[in-house]
């Protein structure tokens, strides 16, 4: 018995889980799904409205329901993965995403579609935080840098490709499915992903599981709903009183959330979002930089889609393809990001902001000179520079945010980052979208587009200035 105990005592610790090539491909495939689905619906909304006899307010809920559920549950999804196993939540979230996508594609009515979209957003929130957390916990050194670069490339490409793919699928009308194809296309992808994940994605979790922080979860949910619900629904509803009351309540709910989390941290309990997480300089400064970047990006995607289709008269396919050069350049430039960072540090991010600013300026100039003859050729120079500049920012900032986060907190760290980005995406559509649409009646589509692009240029300038405060090197 003594010998057995001694043998157990000297037994080497279990090997650190490792994410191989097939596993990395699988989690990146899964990462693309929620981001594509956030944007893919935009071009399908008119067809959905005609087919399901849905009002504009209900169509807004098709978009907002997904975004709200997705945003408010991301941190909780990351925390649960830390506690009970990231692979388990990844597989469960992916399976649920496939089933809810099927429910969206088969929805017989508009309200059924809204409910399915809310469930789809919740399943995405269970799946997505596990991806970054698994990369953080199961890779190290150059392999982690490469994996994070590929994640950033996938994320950026997915957000641009979503609108392109949506237009192609709706126009193709595969087997008479029409708009339903934008949801049904997820099902075979999920089946392949589940088969690969079951074999290639390792299990990682916190070594010391703690119970879920109930009060923190409730207050975070209430805070995000108070902020995001009026931002996503306010414009279409005409900004009624409840939207302003909700926005006014947000800072008080956020302050209450912080107080509860800080008290829990001081008493030795594990809060949902440990305040000590924000003591990490890289995480704090990276999150601040994500805000203007995502606000400008989502606002641009919304405004350019409306301007090209309603103003320039392009169909959904041609409007989407006008952004194809941006997506292609983003992907290839982002692959070079790890090597550039290794040589020049985070000043690469500042260079990216300069390139993106040049691209946005060229697009504004093209809109001013060539309106309404906008399309692939006229937007090409600006799209190339903007895509390359974005590729030198987003993947690298992802790395910066999580660079100092301990593996045991990787899930909550990635959840906080994704929640920040998702909230900024909603804010961008609300802010720049409202600016654009309010200028159109009095100034015309061309002038409204130019002014909005210049507003986005302001976001790029802020991003570039903030990048100067990033740590020079990434750990």
Long-range interactions of 333-337: CB distance < 8 A, separation 24+: 333/387, 333/388, 333/391, 333/392, 334/149, 334/152, 334/153, 334/156, 334/391, 334/392, 334/394, 334/395, 335/149, 335/150, 335/153, 337/149, 337/152, 337/153, 337/391, 337/392, 337/395, 337/396
Looking at residue 173, what DSSP letter applies?
A: T
Q: Are 60 and 233 in contact (CB under 8 A)?
A: yes
Of 71-75, 253-257, 290-294, the least confident: 71-75
Per-residue pLDDT at 2: 44
Rounded to 5°, the CA angle 232-315-457 comes to 50
pLDDT reported for residue 56? 67
Q: Each residue of 343-371: pLDDT tens digit?
A: 888 899 999 999 999 999 999 999 999 89
Distances in Å between the Cα of 457 and the Cα atoms of 231, 362, 453 are 21, 11, 6
- pLDDT exceeds 80 at position 12: no
Cα 341 to the center of its chain, rounded Å = 23
Instruction: Give the model's pLDDT for residue 454.
Output: 95
Angle CA 159–48–68, to nearest 5? 50
- Note whether 405 and 136 are within 8 A (CB): yes
Q: How far apart are CA 256 and CA 259, in angstroms?
A: 5
Q: Which residues of 261-291 are buried (b: 16+ CB within 10 A; e: fewer)?
A: beebbeeeebbbbbeebeebebbebbbebbb
Lowest mean pLDDT among 247-261, 404-418, 429-443, 458-472: 404-418
C-alpha span between 187 and 85 (Å, rounded)? 24
pLDDT over 90 at 92, yes or no: yes
Distance CA 72, CA 436 (A): 27
Residue 418 confidence class, pLDDT cut points 50, 70, 90: confident
When the pLDDT of each residue in the chain is averaged and rounded to a whole number, the result is: 84
Q: Please confirm whether the linkage preceding 46 is cis (ω < 30° from 0).
A: no
pLDDT digits 0-9 by tens, 374-397: 888 899 999 999 999 998 998 888
* Mean per-residue pLDDT, 267-285: 83
* Cα–Cα dist 357/213, whole Å: 42
- Cα–Cα nearest to 448, from 461, 460, 459, 432: 432
Q: What pLDDT was estimated at residue 341?
A: 86
Using alpha carbons, list the distances in angstroms from residue 456 to 16, 251, 298, 433, 438.
Answer: 44, 25, 10, 11, 16
Which pLDDT belongs to residue 152?
78
Of the chain, the percentage scoring pLDDT greater than 90 comes to: 30
Distance CA 150, CA 131 (A): 12
Give the CA count within 13 Å in the CB-facing half-sphere of 266. 6
d(CA 119, CA 234): 22
Mean pLDDT of 427-434: 82
- Least confident window among 25-39, 42-56, 114-128: 42-56
| 8-17, 219-228, 230-239, range with greatest mean pLDDT | 219-228
pLDDT of residue 9: 41
Phi, psi of 375 (to 5 degrees): 180, -160
Q: Once rounded to an integer, what is the mean pLDDT over residues 431-440?
A: 85
Q: Cα dist. 361→331, 449, 456 in Å? A: 21, 12, 10
Q: How confident is the model over 34-67, as pLDDT tens digits?
A: 888 877 887 777 788 888 988 766 777 787 788 7
Distance CA 57, CA 290 (A): 29
Question: Could you tell me the pLDDT band of residue 112, with boundaries at 50, 70 and 90?
Answer: very high
pLDDT per residue as tens digits for the range 296-317: 988 888 888 788 877 888 777 7
Confidence of residue 293 (pLDDT cuts 50, 70, 90): very high
Asked whether the beta carbons of 398 and 148 are under 8 A apart, the reply is yes
Cα separation, 37 vs 421, in Å, equals 15
pLDDT, one tens digit per residue, over 202-227 is: 887 766 666 777 888 889 889 988 88
Q: Higher-confidence residue: 78 or 364?
A: 364
Per-residue tokens: 77: 């999804």
Cα–Cα distance, 446 to 440 (Å, whole number): 8
Instruction: Give Cα separations from 188 to 15, 74, 97, 108 (angstroms).
Output: 34, 24, 11, 21
**Nearest in space to 93 (alpha carbons), one of 116, 121, 69:** 121
CA 125 to chain centre: 11
């Amino acid at each position: 018995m003594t010998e057995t105990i001694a043998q157990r005592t000297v037994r080497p610790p279990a090997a650190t889980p490792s994410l191989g090539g097939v596993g990395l491909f699988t989690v990146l495939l899964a990462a693309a799904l929620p981001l594509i689905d956030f944007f893919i619906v935009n071009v399908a909304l008119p067809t959905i409205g005609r087919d399901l006899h849905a009002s504009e307010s209900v169509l807004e809920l098709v978009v907002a329901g997904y975004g709200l559920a997705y945003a408010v549950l991301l941190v909780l999804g990351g925390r649960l993965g830390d506690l009970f196993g990231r692979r388990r939540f990844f597989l469960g979230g992916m399976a649920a995403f496939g089933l809810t996508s099927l429910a969206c594609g088969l929805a017989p009515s508009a309200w059924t579609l809204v409910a399915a979209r809310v469930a789809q957003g919740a399943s995405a929130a269970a799946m997505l935080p596990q991806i970054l957390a698994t990369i953080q916990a199961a890779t190290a050194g150059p392999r982690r840098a490469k994996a994070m670069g590929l994640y950033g490339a996938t994320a950026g490409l997915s957000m641009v490709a979503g609108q392109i793919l949506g237009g192609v699928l709706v126009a193709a009308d595969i087997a008479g499915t029409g708009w339903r194809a934008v949801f049904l296309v997820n099902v075979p992808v999920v089946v392949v992903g589940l088969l690969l994940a079951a074999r290639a994605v390792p299990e990682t979790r916190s070594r010391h599981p703690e119970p879920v922080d109930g009060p923190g979860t409730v207050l975070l949910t209430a805070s995000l709903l108070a902020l995001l619900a009026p931002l996503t629904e306010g414009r279409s509803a005409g900004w009624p009183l409840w939207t302003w009351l909700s926005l006014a309540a947000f800072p008080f709910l956020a302050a209450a959330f912080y107080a509860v989390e800080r008290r829990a941290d001081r008493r030795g309990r594990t809060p949902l979002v440990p305040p000590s997480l924000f003591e990490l300089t890289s995480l704090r400064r990276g999150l601040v930089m994500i805000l203007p970047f995502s606000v400008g990006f989502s606002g641009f995607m919304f405004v350019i889609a409306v301007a090209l289709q309603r103003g320039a008269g392009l169909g959904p396919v041609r409007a989407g393809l006008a952004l194809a050069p941006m997506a292609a350049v983003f992907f290839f430039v982002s692959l070079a990001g790890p090597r550039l960072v290794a040589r020049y540090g985070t000043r690469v991010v500042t260079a990216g902001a300069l390139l993106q600013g040049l691209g946005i300026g060229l697009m504004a100039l093209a809109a001013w000179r060539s309106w309404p003859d906008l399309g692939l050729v006229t937007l090409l120079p600006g799209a190339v520079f903007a895509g390359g500049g974005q590729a030198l920012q987003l993947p690298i900032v992802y790395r910066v945010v999580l660079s100092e986060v301990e593996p045991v907190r990787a899930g909550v760290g990635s959840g906080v980052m994704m929640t920040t980005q998702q909230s900024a995406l909603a804010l961008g559509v609300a802010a720049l979208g409202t600016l654009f649409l309010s200028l159109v009646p009095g100034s015309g589509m061309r002038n409204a587009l130019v002014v909005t692009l210049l507003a986005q240029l302001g976001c790029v300038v802020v991003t570039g200035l903030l990048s100067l405060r990033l740590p020079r090197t990434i750990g």
